[in-house]
Amino acid sequence: MYRSIITGSGAYIPEHIIHNSDFLSHEFYSPNGAPEENTSARIIEKFAKITGIFERRYAPVGLSASHLAAKAAEKAISDSGIDKEKLDQIIVAHNFGDMKRGSASPELVPSLASRVKRQLGISNPSCVPYDLVFGCPGWLQGMIHADAFFKAGMARTALIIGADTLSRVLDPNDRDSMIFSDGAGAIVLSYEEVNDGALGLLSMNVRSDCGEETDYIHMGNPLHPEKFPHARYLKMKGRKVYEYALRHVPTAMKDCLDKSGHPIESLKAIFIHQANEKMDEAIVKAFYGLYGIVEPPQNVMPMCIQWLGNSSVATIPTLFDLVRKSALPGCELKKGDLILFASVGAGMNINAVCYGYR
């Protein structure tokens, strides 16, 4: 039988570290345009307790999302050992295109995938590059897309990248802006013959709710009533996102795992979108609760949000690369380990993939 197999991975983590203390000088405003009653120090303290974030990474001025994507891609290609000219597809998941620092206009033409193909020096005209905008679950959706193309006989190899520079769409007066960061992660996915039916991409599940949920994460006006009146920034209804995720993500994860035919006791690791530490913990606990298990196993959910923040589409592939290369203490993967990928984000969209590690 043939399955989609991850043959290589890579990540680009910007060197510029932004600590929570760097926000002490910020003047935070509430959604109604009034200054927050609490001091910046108190707001930051509460933020850290809820999100688990103590620092995050911002890309340097000269690099945009496509540059980050290409750097992660180079590492994934090298790790896989594949000839880059043999790639059939380049899929780049992102949300804001190439944004220059200080610019209000994203560059979406040509596509980021086309820019990455050029930066990688790939000349093969049969290598098809395209972008995927699906909110934070975009990278995982790219994996689902590639698997569908493989099964349709239209491709056998794909480079799947998630890259964003969220630091360039953040309102400096919005406390939610402390959540987001920059980064890129990538994998090479190949359609290969396997002798073990427990290896490779085993099952998937996707859900979208596009009623009032479309406004939960959106672009909006700055909170300060006088600064930057014509700017548009990334906005989030945090409570709504939390409630939506806790209501629907555990069920989507269960549906995916059940489709794989494996029991929950076989699950080795959950690679969930690094959105918010408390939210992710609540999702995983609710997921196990659906099987009558009160507490999840220890170390089942590796995390990097504490020092990398929420880099949207880049969080899962970056986390996976860190674990795969033994760069996250206490976490390791062995052949045959059952993995569950899951994500939720703007749309609102949810997806999950069950994968047997090789």
One domain, residues 299 and 167: no
Q: Which of 18-32, 202-216, 221-235 has the lowest mean pLDDT?
A: 221-235
**What is the token pair recorded at 61?**
């001025």
d(CA 245, CA 25): 32
Residues 131 and 209 in one domain: no
pLDDT for residue 33 = 82
Instruction: State whether 17 and 157 are in the same domain.
Output: yes
- CATH number, domain containing residue 164: 3.40.47.10
Q: Indicate if 148 and 29 belong to the same structural domain.
A: yes
- Calculate ∠ Cα 143-148-149, nearest 5°: 100
Q: What is the amino acid identity at position 5? A: I
The total number of structural domains that make up the chain? 2
- The range of the structural domain enclosing residue 215 comes to 200-356
**Same domain, residue pair 160 and 220:** no
Its pTM stands at 0.95
Same domain, 273 and 334: yes
Query: Is residue 112 located within the same domain as residue 180?
Result: yes
- Residue range 71-87, pLDDT digits in tens: 999 999 999 999 999 99
Please report the pLDDT score of residue 233 as a whole number: 86
CA dist., res. 318 & res. 13, Å (int): 8
Of 156, 176, 193, which residue is a domain's last? Answer: 193
Which of 132, 166, 193 is at the close of a domain? 193
> Above pLDDT 70, what percent of the chain?
98
Task: Judge contact between 201 and 158, C-beta under 8 A.
Answer: no
Mean pLDDT of the chain: 95
Show which of 193, 216, 247 is a domain's final residue: 193
CA 73-127-314 angle, to 5 degrees, is 30
